[in-house]
Structure 1
Amino acid sequence: MTVRSSKSVVTFIHPFRISGYPDELPEGEYVVVVEEELLQGLSFEAYRRTGTYLAVEGRGRRADISEMRQITQKALEAALDRDQTLAAKASRRAKSFPV
């Protein structure tokens, strides 16, 4: 079985939550790892996603601990969408009150 993984970085402007986890995470950059496996027996190369993970660094007394939280692509996209919506609202408010 051939497996491949890719990494990307996402940026949250506001604190956020990922469904399935109770704690709020701080704003910042997060590494996302996607793992896929090669589908066998096809006449062309195709991969199937087997996992999506969000790298979360510890904070406070647990700053030396990091973890890879398994998430769904849908949950990640929903969190990013909420963050973008909050950013857009903040931008509109700032334009409403010129200095």
Structure 2
Amino acid sequence: LPIGLTYVTGALSRFGRGVGRFILGERKVDWSIQLVPWIGMVSGAISGAILASFFPGGALLVVSLTVFAVALASMLMPRSLRTRYNQRVAIKRAPKGA
């Protein structure tokens, strides 16, 4: 059943379903794209903790500048790379009268 999920739980849910299907024998690896947000979240948490402990006064400034640089880089990214990571979602609809 489709369930409304937030970004974090949605990424976890899609990743878990993909791993489960892979274990059960479905050899599609479309779910592996869910590693991208998880790697981002984990690396952000680790780098944030390191920054806060070594550079407490300027940690927020460093993070803000990093986010700005990533946003700028994503705006300047070639279209071929941007469309490569757009995932198509197949919506299965119940037959009429069901």
TM above 0.5, one fold?
A: no
Indicate the TM-score class for this superposition, using the shorter chain for normalisation: 0.3 to 0.5
State the TM-score, normalizing by the size of structure 1. Answer: 0.33
State the TM-score, normalizing by the size of structure 2. Answer: 0.33
Structure with greater proportional helix content: 2
Highest RCO, 1 vs 2 (Cα 8 Å, sep ≥ 6): 1
Structure with greater proportional strand content: 1
